[in-house]
Chain A
């Protein structure tokens, strides 16, 4: 099993619903977030391209945050999901420094926090809250090893890219272009 997410940049409107749904689902304190939206504009008026990307932890196959964690708080669970055990985390911030996606933040209660792919929902057969709420249905989640999962179907006939492939982290967010 390999959980992954595909984000359709041709449909995302950058509304931020994924951000607020994550905050209310996961009790993320005001002022912090586990996911965010990037707007990328290229070209000059009027020859322009616009891309919105809903970004979060890439749950990398080769996760530098897990490698560098001195306490083992950052760890992988089944399906390749990267999690942080809050009471094992000493808040040293090594993982924050090591992440090329800047996906982690220091929670005011002293530990480092990040996207969990809403594993508590996924275990019950639900989608992550960002996926479930997205009005444009531009987020697709599931098991890459299952050819009929939403994410596999979304990737099937589309071009995609990953962010910072040069970092060698084998990220698991696929941006459909």
Chain B
């Protein structure tokens, strides 16, 4: 019996072929087959659809969970009216069912205890006891230090539940990795340039674009659903796709132009593009004259930044730079310079994003069909409650004047404020954590560990025994998104819309919905007026009725679309428009940056290069996983069990590395991965870099499938290039080398 791998090797198409999803385990005899959901394939008509929106990633696509007579959830299918997914969920949304069935889920509240000999362990507790413990600690912190000293690390809906509790209690000392460890530089740059932020899902008009420019953005590997769909539509419509990436990404594989740039030199390429547009007079003159500020200064600034200058820096040939600039100009204004999402790379990321914003403006590619559209959201009416108290200090005060253009809390600053040794003026003494697995989502593990060990108390709300729960004093097991009511979803889009999530099944085990957990704590703190409902469905129903719908209607439709009120999707030609900036115009020259003491125009600065025998660590996403949160999901684990380290064949030859060989990685600071990772020898990566998918290398044994599978890229990120503009944590300045033997002796200091 030959295996599929053999087949591929012998097939005429086989050279270099790798089976991605759904292959390797096919021949595993007796592969474990947990809880089998029975689809009698003819009984689909009897299934009941329940509306939900996905919580496997932040795209939050709306869908239907199909439930059988026994109450089992059999499958999840996208909602056809939902602009986030158009009826088609991504693999994670389809596999979201695995979050519900995962037998490794947190099942009951847990409280940390200490034995007489000092060893610590978790014991099962009742909800009553766990909630009392959290509430009592919140009271104690408020009395001892003030409510502001209770911090929060949040993400997604669980984080939002906790944020409501914390603000009711009197603290705004919160931060989410989604800002300073992800999209923060983009916010700072687009907000200061255009006066409006890029929204989520991004307001990129890819479906009608004639030219899509991706700078390190790997659509298709990041499975941002509607964007992936629209890129496919753009391919159908023969749009030009220009991808800038040191790695031959999936998007690069579908592109008209792939610019295999030398890592860390993107700003030079962007400035050269700007140079060509200006000096070859290819920019959109009427748009620039009417809407922008600082063109002449910009022209002078980029005078010497020619394609020839950029060639020496970026490895991209001058003719390719000119040709791609002309392609953009030819398609303008229907050009999407994709602003990216995970933008914290080298510490000058706000400046790189500024360069992208300036390029966008020169093309007139804002507010026009096929560029960035003007999104609109439904404002969800606020359920009656008192005003939140105003804390004496908040996340911004923690920064003590640093990072003036940060619009949200900075995770690393919140960590530092938690360490008394660092003498922050405003100190954080206890944490709530929800929806984020800090040990695998934050760089600089030492900082995280010291902070986690410094605070007096940590309560974590999660559905899975993620590594962060190992640091908790109290673990609050949340019901999955398929088992709870939740906030209405009302993200900005082309068409304003609302989506509803309701329980498709009763919570498994002794888990509870996030809204219930925070309400119980709130009641214990005497904050009843902020939680004035018995069931969250009452809140949703009240809000929906104000919007002209109802819980009953939404149970039938899941998603409701509303007419736009703020005007059309695009600006009319020559329409007067006041931008929300200090000059009222699109700021090519950034007054905000200049006032805050930063370069008003982006400047290319060289970044450190890998030392001898080291390779730059580039990391990214796989379409079937979301960060570290899905690695144990049985359905998605089936598709991809572990990450690999991508190595160029030349480098593999040099090191004698073979396909599939397990190696440990060591970085420039001597940090070593806890687990080894398989080598993937591939032409898809440059010889000066390696690539890993983020989110693997789980170290918590309670994650029975994900434990020890692959290596954690975060362990290799000890050098952070901080963005002075908004506090972003640039993570692409780390270099790794290969260890072929188990470096057990080196492991002590790096073991989490």
Contact indicator A26/B623 (Cβ below 8 Å): no
Residue of B nearest to A120 (CB): B41
A15-B21, A17-B88 given; name 18 further pairs at CB < 8 Å. A14-B623, A15-B90, A16-B22, A17-B94, A17-B623, A19-B639, A20-B638, A20-B639, A24-B97, A25-B39, A30-B31, A33-B21, A40-B18, A50-B252, A121-B44, A135-B229, A163-B13, A164-B12
Complex CA–CA separation, A52 to B219 (angstroms): 15
Residue of B nearest to A123 (CB): B42
Complex CA–CA separation, A96 to B225 (angstroms): 36
Instruction: Enumerate chain B residues within 8 angstroms of A14, measured Cβ to Cβ.
Output: 20-21, 220, 250, 623
Complex CA–CA separation, A14 to B250 (angstroms): 8
Contact indicator A32/B26 (Cβ below 8 Å): yes
Contact indicator A15/B38 (Cβ below 8 Å): no
Taking A13-B623, A102-B3, A108-B33 as contacts, is the C-beta distance between A38 and B20 under 8 angstroms? yes
Contact indicator B26/A33 (Cβ below 8 Å): yes
Instruction: Enumerate chain B residues within 8 angstroms of A25, measured Cβ to Cβ.
Output: 39, 41, 75
**Stretch of B106-114, B323-331, B683-691 lying at the A interface:** B683-691
Cross-interface CB contact of B91 among A19, A40, A50, A93, cutoff 8 Å: A19
Give min CB distance, B682 to chain A, whole Å: 6
What are 12 sample pairs from A and B whose C-beta atoms fall under 8 A apart?
Answer: A15-B90, A16-B20, A16-B624, A19-B639, A27-B36, A30-B634, A31-B32, A39-B20, A41-B683, A45-B685, A102-B2, A136-B229
Give min CB distance, B564 to chain A, whole Å: 26
User: A88 interface residue, CB < 8 Å from B?
Assistant: no
Cross-interface CB contact of A15 among B76, B220, B231, cutoff 8 Å: B220
Give min CB distance, A43 to chain B, whole Å: 7
Residue pairs across A and B with CB atoms within 8 Å: the count is 221
Residue of B nearest to A16 (CB): B21
Which range contains the number of B residues in contact with the other chain?
35 or more
Residue of B nearest to A103 (CB): B4
A-B pairs with lowest CB-CB distance, top 6: A16-B21, A31-B31, A50-B253, A13-B220, A15-B623, A19-B22
Contact indicator A135/B228 (Cβ below 8 Å): yes
User: B605 interface residue, CB < 8 Å from A?
Assistant: no
Cross-interface CB contact of B26 among A101, A105, A164, A166, cutoff 8 Å: A105
Give min CB distance, B633 to chain A, whole Å: 10
Contact indicator B253/A49 (Cβ below 8 Å): yes
Instruction: Enumerate chain A residues within 8 angstroms of B97, measured Cβ to Cβ.
Output: 24
User: B654 interface residue, CB < 8 Å from A?
Assistant: no
Q: From residue 4 to 32 of chain A, which have CB atoms closer than 8 A to chain B?
A: 10-11, 13-17, 19-21, 23-27, 29-32
User: A87 interface residue, CB < 8 Å from B?
Assistant: no
User: B74 interface residue, CB < 8 Å from A?
Assistant: yes
Instruction: Enumerate chain A residues within 8 angstroms of B14, measured Cβ to Cβ.
Output: 40
Contact indicator B635/A15 (Cβ below 8 Å): no
User: B479 interface residue, CB < 8 Å from A?
Assistant: no
Contact indicator A16/B32 (Cβ below 8 Å): no
Give min CB distance, A122 to chain B, whole Å: 11
User: A144 interface residue, CB < 8 Å from B?
Assistant: no
Contact indicator A135/B7 (Cβ below 8 Å): no
Residue of A nearest to B254 (CB): A10
Complex CA–CA separation, A137 to B33 (angstroms): 30
Instruction: Enumerate chain A residues within 8 angstroms of B39, measured Cβ to Cβ.
Output: 24-27
Residue of A nearest to B34 (CB): A30
Contact indicator B635/A48 (Cβ below 8 Å): no
Residue of B nearest to A19 (CB): B22
Instruction: Enumerate chain B residues within 8 angstroms of A46, measured Cβ to Cβ.
Output: 248, 258, 260
Contact indicator B18/A102 (Cβ below 8 Å): no
Query: Could you tell me which B residues sit within 8 Å of A by CB distance?
Result: 1-4, 7-8, 11-23, 25-28, 30-34, 36-39, 41-42, 44, 74-78, 85, 88-91, 94-95, 97, 219-221, 223, 225, 228-229, 231-233, 235-236, 248, 250, 252-254, 258, 260, 623-624, 634-636, 638-640, 648-649, 682-687
Complex CA–CA separation, A115 to B518 (angstroms): 46
Query: Could you tell me which A residues sit within 8 Å of B by CB distance?
Result: 10-11, 13-17, 19-21, 23-27, 29-33, 35-46, 48-52, 93, 96-97, 100-102, 105, 108, 120-121, 132-138, 163-164, 166
Cross-interface CB contact of A133 among B1, B32, B89, B231, cutoff 8 Å: B89
Contact indicator A32/B25 (Cβ below 8 Å): yes
Contact indicator A30/B635 (Cβ below 8 Å): yes
Contact indicator B95/A38 (Cβ below 8 Å): no
Contact indicator A45/B648 (Cβ below 8 Å): yes
Instruction: Enumerate chain B residues within 8 angstroms of A51, measured Cβ to Cβ.
Output: 253
Contact indicator A45/B248 (Cβ below 8 Å): yes
Cross-interface CB contact of B687 among A23, A45, A121, cutoff 8 Å: A45
Taking A31-B638, A48-B683 as contacts, is the C-beta distance between A41 and B250 under 8 angstroms? no
Contact indicator B23/A33 (Cβ below 8 Å): yes
Complex CA–CA separation, A36 to B36 (angstroms): 20
Give min CB distance, A128 to chain B, whole Å: 12
Contact indicator A102/B21 (Cβ below 8 Å): no
Contact indicator A30/B33 (Cβ below 8 Å): yes
Contact indicator A163/B11 (Cβ below 8 Å): yes
Give min CB distance, A115 to chain B, whole Å: 12
Residue of A nearest to B683 (CB): A45
Contact indicator B11/A164 (Cβ below 8 Å): yes
Contact indicator B232/A136 (Cβ below 8 Å): yes
Residue of A nearest to B86 (CB): A135
Contact indicator B8/A135 (Cβ below 8 Å): no
Contact indicator A26/B41 (Cβ below 8 Å): yes
Give min CB distance, A74 to chain B, whole Å: 16
Residue of A nearest to B93 (CB): A17
Contact indicator B260/A45 (Cβ below 8 Å): yes
Taking A37-B20, A102-B4 as contacts, is the C-beta distance between A135 and B34 under 8 angstroms? no
Complex CA–CA separation, A43 to B648 (angstroms): 12
Cross-interface CB contact of B229 among A32, A101, A137, cutoff 8 Å: A137
Complex CA–CA separation, A24 to B20 (angstroms): 18
Complex CA–CA separation, A21 to B22 (angstroms): 11
Complex CA–CA separation, A42 to B14 (angstroms): 10
Instruction: Enumerate chain B residues within 8 angstroms of A108, measured Cβ to Cβ.
Output: 30-31, 33
